[in-house]
Amino acid sequence: MNLTFLKLGGSLITEKERPQTVRPQTLARLAEEIAAAQQANPGLRLLLGHGSGSFGHVPARKHGTRLGVHTQEQWLGFVEVWRAATALNRFVVDAFSAAGLPVISFPPSASVTAHSRYLAEWNLTPIRQALANGLLPVVFGDVIFDTAQGGTIFSTEDLFSHLAEQLAPQRILLASLQPGVWEDFPACTRLLPEIMAQDLERGALAIGESAAADVTGGMRSKVMHGLELARRLPGVEVRIFSGEQPGDVQRALAGEGQGTLLRP
């Protein structure tokens, strides 16, 4: 299977500085580009993920959900984060359905169990069946029940990390607002064509966190996840690029090497 993982970042599909605000025109355009890419390459199989943006991150930071859920107040916060993440997922599903894509959502909160913030159990048979039958499965950043600390949050990168080992994609494409990874964030004058693990280890890069609410670590976390995937899965292409301009995502799905390539 010619399988590609594509993540649509929360900063790309929502207004991250305005709580619970989606970018409907951007979502519609992205759906159309993905539909066009699949039409041009019928053998392309996609697994889609999306971030939480201004929906889930705001209540998650307010309640500290990622760090554990124990008190009744924290459990009410857990539900608030779930509602926000689910609301954004509905916007995504509706936009992709309107573009004629056979999208089907797999909410992590209903199927993933963690232990001490590490994934412990996830039945992937439904996702495998969806892919085998030409459907477009969608996962997203969501709350997760945790047998050690009550609850937590898994980002799309957390989910991709497990899925990649099980489903062996050829490419993992992470679309955001930024055109790639900047060497000198936040000045943003030098874009890196590629990053290797040793670049971070020797402290050569000033990769910062998200400017908006992001409880899962911002760009640095995304780069670390991507480098780890590149190390564990030899031959997989992991790339961070922009989906902001028309045609960006369609070109990336067609194999154009945009943005920053992450290498082991």
- Whole-angstrom CA distances from 188 to 35, 197, 210, 227 are 32, 21, 13, 21
CATH superfamily for 2-263 is: Acetylglutamate kinase-like (3.40.1160.10)
Whether the Cβ atoms of residue 106 and residue 127 lie closer than 8 Å to each other = yes
Whether 219 shows a pLDDT value over 90: the answer reads: no
Q: What are the structure tokens assigned to 60, written together?
A: 């998650």
According to the model, what pLDDT value does residue 211 have? 46
According to the model, what pLDDT value does residue 189 have? 85
What is the rounded CA–CA span in Å between residue 85 and residue 82? 5
What is the rounded CA–CA span in Å between residue 173 and residue 222? 11
User: Tokens 């955001």 belong to which residue?
Assistant: 176
What is the rounded CA–CA span in Å between residue 58 and residue 197? 31
According to the model, what pLDDT value does residue 203 have? 57
- Burial pattern 90-128, b for ≥16 Cβ within 10 A else e, equals ebbbebbeebebebebbbbbebbebeebebeebeeeebe
According to the model, what pLDDT value does residue 156 have? 94
- The full set of domain ranges for the chain reads 2-263
Whether 36 shows a pLDDT value over 70: the answer reads: yes
Residues near 215 by beta carbon (within 8 Å), at least 6 away in sequence:
57, 60, 61, 65, 66, 153
According to the model, what pLDDT value does residue 34 have? 98
Closest CA to 103 of 146, 46, 159, 166: 46
Per residue in 97-135, pLDDT (tens digit) is 999 999 999 999 999 999 999 999 999 999 999 999 999
According to the model, what pLDDT value does residue 217 have? 54
Whether 247 shows a pLDDT value over 90: the answer reads: yes
